[in-house]
Amino acid sequence: MFSKDNPPGSSKASPSKFDAKRAPSSPSKPQKTRLYAAVDLGTNNCRLLIVERAGGLGFRVRDSFSRIVRLGEGLEGSGQLSQDAMDRTVAALRIAASKIRRANVVRLRCVATEACRGASNGAEFIKRVRKETGLRLEIIDGKAEAELAAIGCGSLFDDKVDDIILYDIGGGSTEISRLSRQVSPHTANGDFFKLVDSDSVPLGVVRLSERHAGPGPYEHGYEGMLQESHDRLQAFMARQSDMVDMSRVQIIGTSGTVTTLAAVQLGLARYDRNVVDGCTITAENITKVIGNLRQMSRDQLAENPCIGAQRADLVLSGCAVLEAIHTRWPVAQVSVADRGLREGLLLRMIKKDMRRNRRNRSNRSRRRSSGSPNAETSQAPKGQNT
């Protein structure tokens, strides 16, 4: 079940779901809060988020780390992770592991996605990461990736729509999902959104660029990328043929592509997550921004402070996937999420602890009522994957 606590027009997430502000630290007091961490290793990026619980399902960010590692560089042609890409990634994961150890994290989950799923040496690389960093990466499939992204974006769901299309354009694949409103038979529970269909297609920004882009500064290969995006998404789109009233549909994009487009459209001097996350872009502005970017050379794209050199050769491949999706579902505006898989991982761990705590309280209450002595509170093993 996925919630719909906050309308997409807000630039901030609902505090009950996610608070992006860094929690204040006090060097004079020992750390007593329970910290959770999630690592998301994708085809292009390595990301870490460390949070502390803040009442219910809320949490505050204590630390974060993100680095473009291009783990999937060259994978499309060779079928293997290259030595240089693996070395870059292990170096980034060492930094993440160091942050996790220093924070005394008590709940941790680390996942790897499309690059490790598709590489013939993916499993071997996972073993190397465990040996050199201590992190236990779990390769998850596309369905699990889509579901976690939906959980992470739950506070952006619009309570005025019947269906939601949520997409995550990664380096090696695009996860796309449909969630539909369900009416609960219990009035207290209210309506909720259920994941009814999802797909993982090989439409990542690294893959598309390697397939279609030429060597020239303006040879982006956009038309080829757009056509491939239409073709590969067709099966999922056809299954949603009953979605015809666009006023009852919400589109949420969670990826570097859509957050970059939002930052460019907003004219930010530098990327600011607190401004971008939860904002909306009109369809007209999406078309305008993509059109402007297509006219630029790679050097011009690199000079934009919200794109930069590391994304200059990838931003238009993401735009091709985005355009294919929004051509199929021409909603008036698009919701932008700078959140997703990591937040989904964290919320699942927090929910699991909440259920465990409720069971423990219930068991203690039953023992007290029967005259049995109270059991000691169990301690969670530190650093254990959950």
**Separation CA 37–CA 63 (nearest Å):** 9
pLDDT of residue 55: 72
CATH fold, domain 19-25+32-141+342-354, is Nucleotidyltransferase; domain 5 (3.30.420)
Q: What is the pLDDT of residues 126-153, one digit of tens each?
A: 999 999 999 999 999 999 999 999 999 9
Q: Which two tokens stand for residue 251?
A: 């589109």
**Separation CA 160–CA 141 (nearest Å):** 31
**Separation CA 186–CA 194 (nearest Å):** 16
Average pLDDT (292-321) is: 95
Q: Is 385 within 8 Å of 126 (Cβ atoms)?
A: no
Confidence at 34, pLDDT banded by 50, 70, 90: confident
Q: Which two tokens stand for residue 86?
A: 């693996």
pLDDT of residue 359: 75
Evaluate if residue 271 carries a pLDDT over 50: yes
Evaluate if residue 59 carries a pLDDT over 90: no
**Separation CA 15–CA 175 (nearest Å):** 27
**Separation CA 354–CA 308 (nearest Å):** 41
pLDDT of residue 22: 35
Eight-class DSSP state of 270: S
Helices vs strands, H then E, count in the chain: 13, 13
pLDDT of residue 228: 97
Q: Is 103 within 8 Å of 35 (Cβ atoms)?
A: yes
> What is the SS3 assignment for 35?
strand
pLDDT of residue 33: 72
Q: Whole-prediction pTM value?
A: 0.81
pLDDT, mean over the chain:
86
Q: Which amino acid is at 69?
A: V
> What is the SS3 assignment for 40?
strand
For 236, other C-beta atoms within 10 Å of its C-beta total: 21
Confidence at 8, pLDDT banded by 50, 70, 90: very low
Q: What is the pLDDT of residues 204-215, one digit of tens each?
A: 999 999 999 999
Block residue for tokens 């995006």: 229
Q: What is the pLDDT of residues 338-359, one digit of tens each?
A: 999 999 999 999 988 888 777 7
Choosing among 3.40.50.300, 1.20.120.80, 3.30.420.150, 1.10.10.1100, the CATH entry for 143-336 is 3.30.420.150
Q: What is the pLDDT of residues 156-202, one digit of tens each?
A: 999 899 999 999 999 999 999 999 998 876 655 566 899 999 999 99
Q: For the chain, which residues make up each domain, given as ranges?
A: 19-25+32-141+342-354, 143-336
Domain pair 19-25+32-141+342-354 / 143-336, same fold: yes
pLDDT of residue 58: 77
Evaluate if residue 12 carries a pLDDT over 50: no
Vertex 45: Cα angle to 34 and 352 (nearest 5): 30
Block residue for tokens 């050769």: 313
Confidence at 232, pLDDT banded by 50, 70, 90: very high
Average pLDDT (96-106) is: 95
Q: What is the pLDDT of residues 278-296, one digit of tens each?
A: 999 999 999 999 999 999 9
Q: What is the pLDDT of residues 365-375, one digit of tens each?
A: 777 776 655 44
pLDDT of residue 317: 96
